[in-house]
Amino acid sequence: MPTTDVPAGTIEYDDTGGSGPVIVFLHGLFMSGTTWREVVPRLRDDYRCITPTLPLGSHRIAMKPDADLTMHGQTHLVADFLEALDLRDVTLVSIDWGGGLFLTAEGRDDRVARLVICPSEAYDNFPPGLSGKVAMLACRLPGGVGLGLRQLRVSWLRNSPLMFGALVKKGVNDEVAHDWTAPGLASADVRRDVRKYGGHPPPKAELIAATERLADFAGPTLVVWAPEGKMMPPEHGPRLAELIPDSRYVEIADAHTMVNEDQPDEFTRHLREFLRDTDPHAEERIPAR
């Protein structure tokens, strides 16, 4: 797996390569870039798909001991990653974790041409839902992160509403769960990194202000929401779409937060339509087949 260095440390990522339009996919807490394993194969022939693994608990390379891994620091880490790979005209896809929405508030969205906002933390919804609160509590308790990771390896508990059941309606299988939990179980430094994030939540007023700065984002935006999901309030999807000047809104049924896991075909269809309609030069950059 390739790596790149940013001020916070070394980031692993997958890159399908090619000269097609660039899509960068972000992920949530205790997940990796493999969150997008159902979507990338549906796009890779036409687009350059890049899936970094952020230091949110499933990363295999610990960050520098002094790295800022709070929401603020992780948002800058995403911008630093785009800069390190010299990516431009990026379609940035966020899901679950809200930091990808806050690049505009941090003045770091110059490489982002389009946003795709799947159900994500926004406004004052942090930590999101019951499972988010459980995860943040684990980050504050001594030994809590390791205990939580071990619990994620127990199928019935992992897929309960207390954990991934709130995010993925169809559940997360053992193979994926073992992949996501292995780094944190193996490394105290990885557990330290995720505690930096979960143990220092930003003030809600700061989150609301950062979300509202999306009104300044000038590029096209697709808001994809799952009204059936419980972690991200159903009203936040339409609210975000109304906030962002050049946006469109779609809903995906029979899905929780992780619409890419529960309904990958439908999500990919919406994403392709959005890219086709908002990038006039996309056809020129899609390799001939």
- CB contact at 8 A, 167 and 131: yes
Q: Give bridge partners of residue 117 from the DSSP assignment.
A: 94, 223
- CB contact at 8 A, 244 and 230: no
The fraction of the chain above a pLDDT of 70, given in percent, is 97
Q: Does residue 287 have a pLDDT over 60?
A: no
- CB contact at 8 A, 92 and 116: yes
What is each CA distance from 267 to 103, 144, 258, 287, in whole angstroms? 23, 34, 10, 22
Q: Does residue 100 have a pLDDT over 70?
A: yes
In the prediction, which pLDDT does 281 show?
64
User: What average pLDDT score do residues 68-74 get?
Assistant: 96
- pLDDT, tens digit, 9 for 90 and up, residues 202-235: 899 999 999 999 999 999 999 999 999 989 999 9
Rounded-to-integer distance, Cα 114 and Cα 89, Å: 8
- CB contact at 8 A, 181 and 32: no
Rounded-to-integer distance, Cα 219 and Cα 237, Å: 17
Question: Cα–Cα–Cα angle for 138, 140, 145, nearest 5°?
Answer: 35
Rounded-to-integer distance, Cα 71 and Cα 270, Å: 28
Total-model pTM: 0.95
In the prediction, which pLDDT does 282 show?
62
Cβ neighbours around 188 below 10 Å, total: 11
Cβ neighbours around 285 below 10 Å, total: 16
In the prediction, which pLDDT does 286 show?
61
What is the longest distance spanned by two Cα atoms in the chain?
A: 54
The DSSP code sequence of the chain is --EEEETTEEEEEEE--SSSPEEEE---TT--GGGGTTTHHHHTTTSEEEEEE-SSS--SSPPPTT---SHHHHHHHHHHHHHHTT--SEEEEEEESSGGGGTTTTT--TTEEEEEEEEE--TT--S-HHHHHHHHHHHHSTTHHHHHHHHTTSHHHHTSTTTGGGT-TT---HHHHHHHHHHHHH-HHHHHHHHHHHTSPPPHHHHHHHHHGGGG--S-EEEEE-TT-SSS-TTHHHHHHHHSSSEEEEE-SS--S-HHHH-HHHHHHHHHHHHHHH-TTHHHHSPP-
- pLDDT, tens digit, 9 for 90 and up, residues 146-188: 999 999 999 999 999 989 999 999 999 999 999 999 999 999 9
